[in-house]
């Protein structure tokens, strides 16, 4: 009798799930086509450990717009750069998935990455404006970057000839650059005791990558069932540690009256809070303080990982492609002089087209954010014969667009900087399908800073050093580690000082 009741309960439960599933599927018939999902799991079981390949295969099967289910959530995936530009330029697609506790824990609806509506517009406009103003003021940002470039070159010089691990090789210098821009402070990132800003900022992306790999982002209920295994506990702890440091830093700047004579981003922001009288503004009093903390978090989460990971990918590619490396060095020597004679400047960039093309090809092959930041539809929309409902999540398959042979040719998987140059190799070609920082109204506002950082670091390094593979592992594995950020597998390279 007991077993009969249990069986009846299980049958009833299964029937209920089936009813919900098929009822929901019927209502969703106007969605773009896509793979058939399972109840509860959606298509997660089909994504497996190689989501990049799965999303590319679905694009071939279902076309440039398709729907997948991440758990119980619908996700509309765009795989064509022209369609993506059109959609992401429309205000209807500028929402954020603020219901997801993983992202919500980071900055809720404050700052830039997670904010929507007037808050997003105000915070983005102010941040872009101040970073631009600081960069134009005696090229102060370039000076900060080059200070860290010099420190990195000294570290590489001390270790010349030794196999060095790429693991966090560039994090210290890149994080310190951001730290100088936002706070005016500088840490000794290569000291024996790791500075707090480097430690806490460096923990953010590995922690959020962990919650991505466990599926917590797509199944938030796991935080209640297996908080440690899912990475939820670690993510909250690492995030709290970082935000605590931001609180202390902001308090020190407030106490020292930095807004009276602003020298850095925090000072400028505090000055804006101090003069804001509109209670509806995102800069007003305590609301302004929360947004400042969120913007700082956004800058470190996005900016530090993008540049340091792209530099690591560059070392991997050029250590394997010595022909491209020598061509770039020949160009650098022609413009900068003998190896080590001077550091590059952003003003040198037009004279170094192949060097810039190398950076662009690395960002094409290995975009650090392969799916960007998810958008959410703010209203229903008919789009190229498909229904995109209000509340639906939209992903940009940046990796798929960057690896589309119909756009880039049959050699799409090859490292080929020349694809960004004109026929005689004298000028850089800007290609519409090149979107490593996304596209449209919510494209990354830190793109100019990231590109300047990448250019100045890689041109300085390769002007001073030959970069060669580890003698114990001459053949590289370019298969990426996929998470929120696309990172290379652990590898080592050798930096040998150039003499000619």
Q: What is the DSSP letter of 421?
A: B
Name the DSSP letter for residue 467: E
Q: CA 338 to CA 1: how far, in whole Å?
A: 89
Contact 91, 441 (CB under 8 A): yes
Q: Are 422 and 429 in contact (CB under 8 A)?
A: yes
Q: Are the C-beta atoms of 212 and 234 separated by less than 8 Å?
A: no
Per DSSP, the three-state class of 262 is: coil
Angle between the 265-275 and 285-299 helix axes, to the nearest 10 degrees? 160
Adjacent-strand bridge partners of 163 = 494
Q: How many whole angstroms from its chain centre is CA 169?
A: 18
Q: Is 96 in contact with 114 (CB distance < 8 Å)?
A: yes
Burial 157-179, CB ≥16 within 10 A → b, else e: eeeeeebbebeebbbbbbbbbbb
Rounded to an integer, what distance in angstroms lies between the CA atom of residue 272 and that of residue 266? 10
Which ranges of 63-203 would DSSP assign to H, the alpha helix? 81-88, 101-107, 117-136, 140-158, 171-183, 196-202
Range list of H helices, 403-467: 405-408, 447-464
Cα 171 to Cα 101, 198, 276, distances in angstroms: 27, 8, 36
Q: Within its chain, how far is the Cα of 197 from the centroid?
A: 19
The neighbouring-strand residues paired with 69 are 74
Backbone φ and ψ of 65, nearest 5°: -130, 120
444 assigned ligand-binding residue: yes
Q: Percent helix, strand, coil in the chain (nearest 5)?
A: 55, 10, 35
Which alpha helices (DSSP H) does 184-321 contain, by range?
A: 196-202, 204-213, 222-225, 232-255, 265-275, 285-299, 305-320
- Binding-site residues for heme sit at 444
- Binding-site residues sit at 444
């Amino acid at each position: 009798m007991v077993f009969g009741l249990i069986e009846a309960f299980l049958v009833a439960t299964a029937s209920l799930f089936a009813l919900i599933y098929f009822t929901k599927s019927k209502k969703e018939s106007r969605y773009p086509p896509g793979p058939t999902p399972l109840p509860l799991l959606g298509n997660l079981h089909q994504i497996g450990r190689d989501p990049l390949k799965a999303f590319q295969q679905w694009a071939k099967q279902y076309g440039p717009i398709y729907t997948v289910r991440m758990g119980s959530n619908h996700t509309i995936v765009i795989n064509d750069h022209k369609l993506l530009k059109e959609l992401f330029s429309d205000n209807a697609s500028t929402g954020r998935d603020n219901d997801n506790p993983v992202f919500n824990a980071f900055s809720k609806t404050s700052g830039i990455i997670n904010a929507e509506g007037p808050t997003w517009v105000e915070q983005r406009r102010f941040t872009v404006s101040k970073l631009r103003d600081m960069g134009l003021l005696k090229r102060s940002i370039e000076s900060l970057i080059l200070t860290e470039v010099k420190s990195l070159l000294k570290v590489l010089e001390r270790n010349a000839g030794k196999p060095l691990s790429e693991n966090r090789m560039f994090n210290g210098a890149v994080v310190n650059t951001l730290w100088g821009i936002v706070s005016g402070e500088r840490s000794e990132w290569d000291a024996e005791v790791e500075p707090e800003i480097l430690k806490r900022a460096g923990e953010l992306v590995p922690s959020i990558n962990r919650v991505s790999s466990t599926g917590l982002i797509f199944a938030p209920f796991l935080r209640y069932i297996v908080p440690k295994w899912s990475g939820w506990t670690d993510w909250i702890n690492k995030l709290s540690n970082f935000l605590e440091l931001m609180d202390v830093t902001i308090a020190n700047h407030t106490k020292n009256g930095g807004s009276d004579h602003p020298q850095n981003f925090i000072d400028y922001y505090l000055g804006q809070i101090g003069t804001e009288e509109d209670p509806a503004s995102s800069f007003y009093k305590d609301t302004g303080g929360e947004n400042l903390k969120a913007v700082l978090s956004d800058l470190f989460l996005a900016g530090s990982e993008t540049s340091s990971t792209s530099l690591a990918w560059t070392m991997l590619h050029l250590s394997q492609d010595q022909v491209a490396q020598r061509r770039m060095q020949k160009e650098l020597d022609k413009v900068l002089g003998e190896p080590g004679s001077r550091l590059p400047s952003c003003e040198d960039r037009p004279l170094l087209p192949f060097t810039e093309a190398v950076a662009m090809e690395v960002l094409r092959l290995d975009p650090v954010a392969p799916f960007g930041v998810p958008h959410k539809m703010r209203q229903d929309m008919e789009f190229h014969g498909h229904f995109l409902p209000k509340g639906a999540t939209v992903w940009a398959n940046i990796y798929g667009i960057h690896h589309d042979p119909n756009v880039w040719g049959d050699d799409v998987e090859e490292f080929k900087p020349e694809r960004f140059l004109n026929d005689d190799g004298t000028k850089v070609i800007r290609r519409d399908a090149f979107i490593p920082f996304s596209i449209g109204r919510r494209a990354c506002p830190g793109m100019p800073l990231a590109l300047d950082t990448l250019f100045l670091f890689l041109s300085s390094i390769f002007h001073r050093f030959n970069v060669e593979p580890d003698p114990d592992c001459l053949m590289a594995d370019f298969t990426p580690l996929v998470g929120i950020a696309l990172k290379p597998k652990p590898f080592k390279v050798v930096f040998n000082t150039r003499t000619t």
